Amino acid sequence: MTGVNQNRVSFEFFPPKTAAGLEKLKETRSALGALNPEYFSVTYGAGGSTRDNTKDIVLDGINAGFDTAPHLSFGGDEKSSILTLLDEYRASGVSKIVALRGDLPSGFGDGSRLVHANELVSFIREHSGDHFDIAVAAYPEIHPEANSYETDVQFLKKKFDAGANSAITQYFFNPDAYSFFIDRCQKAGIDQPIYPGIMPISNFDNLKRFSQSCGAEIPRWLSYRVESLKDSPDDLKAFCTDFVTSLCEKLLAQGAPGLHFYTMNQVEPTQSICHNLGIK
């Protein structure tokens, strides 16, 4: 596969909980950094639970010379703490933020007090002007709490109208979900880039569990195929890498402006998929 703009891949990490996890993350960052991504991003634990860890990893990435973007939500924080965080990020050389409503940690209620992402985007623009490039989340298979597909698209438009520059999608495994979504977005007047979020498949049981809560559909045939290969780890790994490579190729052929990988802090299979795509 040729034609991928190497600058348009980005890699997402989550903040590890242990010192060993942090060391491993730095190795992963170094290996994936060799692929010249546009940026790395670091997630923000539900309800702001990883605020300091996220910040530390973002600033460590910036100091190591990697463009690194924090994910951010209001969570349970006062506006003043978010303002302080924005100022610290700006002073430390952060130029991009992934702005989210976020979810609450389980056991913390129904989330009805969470602040929608469009309000966070407006808040960042009011406070920091155009300093930050802002990415927001989008859902080709519809956000699990959305009233309808069309309202979900309208709320995405609201995030762009508030000043977001681009969107990154929840992961999905059916390329038609992306083309249908882009078509609906364009019809709604959205012309900003929407980057597909790519989930490389490594631990299928975890993926199935997580997909149920975030509303990502796993095709039945894929489950059966993975099940049939479960006693041949090498074949399973090769199949999953080829499957996700092929998904990326189809998305790029449809005109996707680039790819955002949910790396799960692992070099593999993201690195192999990128190599297959000609990103070296």
Binding site for ligand FAD (CB under 6 A): 43-44, 46, 71, 98, 100-103, 116-118, 137, 143, 145-146, 151-152, 155, 158, 168, 170, 197
Cβ atoms of 200 and 210 within 8 Å: the answer is no
For the bound state, the minimum distance from the C-beta of residue 66 to ligand FAD, rounded and expressed in Å, comes to 18
The owner of tokens 């060993």 is 20
Annotated active-site residue 12? The verdict is yes
Output 79-83 pairs: Cβ under 8 A, ≥24 positions apart.
79/123, 82/123, 83/127
Q: Which residues contact 153 (CB under 8 A, 6 or more apart)?
A: 181, 184, 185, 188, 190
Q: How far apart are CB 225 and ligand FAD at their closest, in Å?
A: 26
CB nearer to ligand FAD: give 155 or 277: 155
Identify whether the C-beta of residue 121 lies closer than 8 Å to the C-beta of residue 136. Answer: yes
Of 46 and 134, the one with the shorter C-beta distance to ligand FAD is 46
Distance of CA 130 to the CA centre of its chain: 22
E strand or H helix at 6: none
CA 137, CA 245: separation in Å to the nearest integer? 22
> To the nearest whole angstrom, how small is the minimum distance from the Cβ of residue 160 to ligand FAD?
11
**Active-site residue, selected from the candidate residues 12, 88, 145, 249:** 12
- Residue 64: CB atoms within 10 A of its CB come to 13
Closer to ligand FAD by CB, 174 or 239: give it.
174
Considering the complex, what minimum distance in angstroms separates the CB of residue 256 from ligand FAD? 14
The two structure tokens encoding residue 253? 């052929």
Q: Which residue has the tokens 């692992």?
A: 266
Which is closer to ligand FAD, CB of 71 or CB of 96?
Answer: 71
* Min separation Cβ 110 and ligand FAD, Å: 12
Structure tokens at 247: 């998904």
Q: How far is the CB of 238 from ligand FAD (least distance, A)?
A: 27
Question: How many Cβ atoms are within 10 Å of 105's Cβ, its own excluded?
Answer: 14
In terms of Cα–Cα distance, which of 51, 104, 94 is closest to 69?
Answer: 94
Q: Which is nearer to ligand FAD, 136 or 236 (CB)?
A: 136
Name the residue nearer to ligand FAD (CB basis): 159 or 236. Answer: 159
Residue recorded with tokens 């990154």: 168
Say which residue the tokens 């990988």 belong to: 261
What residues act catalytically? 12
